[in-house]
Chains A and B, each alone.
Chain A
């Protein structure tokens, strides 16, 4: 199935939930609201013509230009994206889905933006979501066991955020 056909199927199944469609991108994708994520993912997995039975990866992307001179040319507003890649063993096709988020929930620094978990649909999402939480700081609400997966439990901050500041010291060990 091509990306256009997949989007057409999604359109009939849950058209109102799709915010924007990008079938011509290198990785064709659609954008959905966080609130609609679980509903759209259920269609992706269970629809007879789609059958996306594997979740390849979940990525968190931080869009932020720190250099004030380059902000005008950057071409994006500061925001976070969570990208889901799916593929199907049955039909040998693949697709991507994006969720746009504010960098902080309600623009209050320190409050992590929230996305519903999809670990009930694909168990593989469990660890992927923990990694995204650990490194980019996205809170997956409803996750069964959301804590850091790579860094130590008492780590402060989320290192793959563009405005992350390196620790000078960690438990008495010099940082830089």
Chain B
């Protein structure tokens, strides 16, 4: 901005439209009221006066997805809830951001192994921008997550994220993708191939006695 500096009178501010819009957007990230389990208590603490998310412009919790920019998924998502989470996400206006708050939404958490009805990470249902681990995370951690979102907004070069209204569920399968030479339609044969491959590798790795 070198060439315009000092050309105008005082109290006159110069910026780019891009920066101006990003600044306005990052200073008014309106989250959606979206507490699913115990993490919601911590999210409420962040909204309260002690941690006061409103200092950073994100204190206006909206009761509808249509007025929200940010979805803080706070708590365990189960299969029955997953379709609802997706539906709410689809209803948010375009530059939309998702924070996965807590161990359960990051990857199943304590329910990973024996939770028959828990989605193993909310990223199997909606695309996640920032993961905030912890069980539950400290309020400061969630604020930090918000700052990372704001950083992302600051870096945006376009007005929208260009997200399609409907993204097929899930955006990734999560299954291990085997190379074609080790894969087989018959799972038993595939396993035999993998074992043979592992054996061969092990033999390759053993040093020959001199």
Contacts and interface: CB of A to CB of B under 8 A. Distances in A.
- B interface residue count range (under 10 / 10 to 19 / 20 to 34 / 35 or more): 10 to 19
User: Chain B interface secondary structure, helix, strand, loop or mixed?
Assistant: loop
A19 B25 CA distance: 72
B67 to A, nearest CB: 28
Interface stretch (A25-33, A125-133, A166-174): A166-174
28 contacts: A150-B117, A151-B79, A151-B80, A151-B117, A152-B79, A152-B80, A159-B116, A164-B116, A166-B116, A167-B116, A170-B79, A170-B82, A171-B79, A171-B83, A172-B168, A172-B169, A172-B170, A173-B79, A173-B169, A173-B170, A174-B124, A174-B170, A174-B173, A174-B174, A175-B120, A176-B112, A176-B113, A176-B120
B125 interface: yes
Given A150-B117, A174-B175, A176-B113, 14 more contacts: A151-B117, A152-B79, A155-B79, A171-B82, A171-B83, A172-B169, A172-B170, A173-B79, A173-B119, A173-B124, A173-B169, A174-B120, A174-B124, A174-B173
User: Chain A interface secondary structure, helix, strand, loop or mixed?
Assistant: loop
Contacts of B125: 173
Nearest to A175: B120
Interface of A: 150-152, 155, 159, 164, 166-167, 170-176
B79, B83, B112, B170 pick with most chain A CB within 10 angstroms: B79
A159 B169 contact: no
A152 B82 CA distance: 11
Nearest to A174: B174
Contacts of B169: 171-173
Contacts of A174: 120, 124, 170, 173-175
Nearest to B125: A173
Contacts of A170: 79, 82
